[in-house]
Amino acid sequence: MTRLNASGIDYRIDRIPILSGVDFRLEPGELVGLIGPNGAGKSSLLRILSGIVAPTRGDVLMDGRALSQISPQQRARSLGYLVQGAQAYWPFSVEKVVGLGRIPYQKWWRQGDAEDESKVVEAMQLTETLAYRNRIVTTLSGGEQTLVMLARIFATENQVILADEPVAALDPYHQLHVMEILRQHASAQRAAVVVLHDLSLAARFCDRLYLLRHGRLDCSGRVTEVLTRENIARVYGVDSQIECNEQGASVIPLNRISDHHP
């Protein structure tokens, strides 16, 4: 069964159209990328898929059920959402922040148990944040805080992860690491959606891509169908070089197209 399905999504803010007629689906085992220029509507679509905001028109289904009809607790267990530039604003230890990911499984009268503690440690090991488990999270760098927030999602054991530019503040090592663990997560019945500006990472790790432009879906499909020189020129306004190897494809921007109108 399709994990997420959105049809005819329109979204307006103060009567200004942000998304128009967007369709989207996420199948079990997939890592799907949302790509497109700044302001294309990627983050808005991700927020709608997470249920944080409601579309002006259109429907979002999770496992065949209307997202709006799923209880907040069940949604918290099923959907993990990593906000763009995720940072902490509370002077808690890293371990306590990651432990917040276990709240959907806890009753108000019960503290975390041994299973919760085990899941928190596993999440920190997975994201390589265990070494600073006792650090105050607000003392960490922006990239380190992003990893902590991602660990919190893994502690929840969400079936679907929605991540908005999770690698933007990370060095190359951690960019690859985050994409690898998202790829690993998207297996069996689990799945993930990631907003990316790095087209080479999108080409290497994603199963399918949705290319947005001006709030509309320009094209979608397999990586080789979407990441063509023609599509990149039309949507991004740049000439590019696409190189393929055994690990996937690399997209190298070469020159801006002078008569392109974003």
Q: Rounded distance, CA 113 to CA 203, Å?
A: 41
Q: Across residues 165-172, what is the average pLDDT?
A: 94
| Structure tokens belonging to residue 67 | 């997202």
Can you list the alpha helix ranges (DSSP code H) found in 79-112?
94-99
Q: Rounded distance, CA 221 to CA 208, Å?
A: 5
The pLDDT tens digits of the residues spanning 240-256 come to 998 877 777 889 999 99
- Nearest in space to 216 (alpha carbons), one of 8, 21, 37: 21
What integer pLDDT is reported at residue 261 of this predicted model?
Answer: 66
Residue pair 87/149 in contact (Cβ under 8 Å)? The answer is yes
Q: Across residues 160-172, what is the average pLDDT?
A: 95
Q: Across residues 53-75, what is the average pLDDT?
A: 94
The four Cα atoms 184, 188, 190, 196 give a dihedral, to 10 degrees, of: 40
Confidence of residue 233 (pLDDT cuts 50, 70, 90): very high
List of domains in the chain: 4-256 (3.40.50.300)
Residue pair 253/56 in contact (Cβ under 8 Å)? The answer is no
Residue pair 244/198 in contact (Cβ under 8 Å)? The answer is no
The four Cα atoms 152, 179, 157, 7 give a dihedral, to 10 degrees, of: 110
Is residue 7 packed enough to be buried (19+ CB in 10 Å), middle (13-18) or exposed (0-12)?
middle
E-state strands within the chain: 4-13, 16-26, 31-35, 57-62, 65-66, 79-82, 160-164, 191-195, 208-213, 216-222, 238-245, 248-256
Say if strands 16-26 and 4-13 run parallel, antiparallel, or are unpaired: antiparallel
pLDDT exceeds 90 at position 191: yes
The pLDDT tens digits of the residues spanning 193-215 come to 999 999 999 999 999 999 999 99
The pLDDT tens digits of the residues spanning 100-113 come to 999 998 875 456 67
What integer pLDDT is reported at residue 167 of this predicted model?
Answer: 95
Q: Across residues 161-167, what is the average pLDDT?
A: 97
What integer pLDDT is reported at residue 109 of this predicted model?
Answer: 47
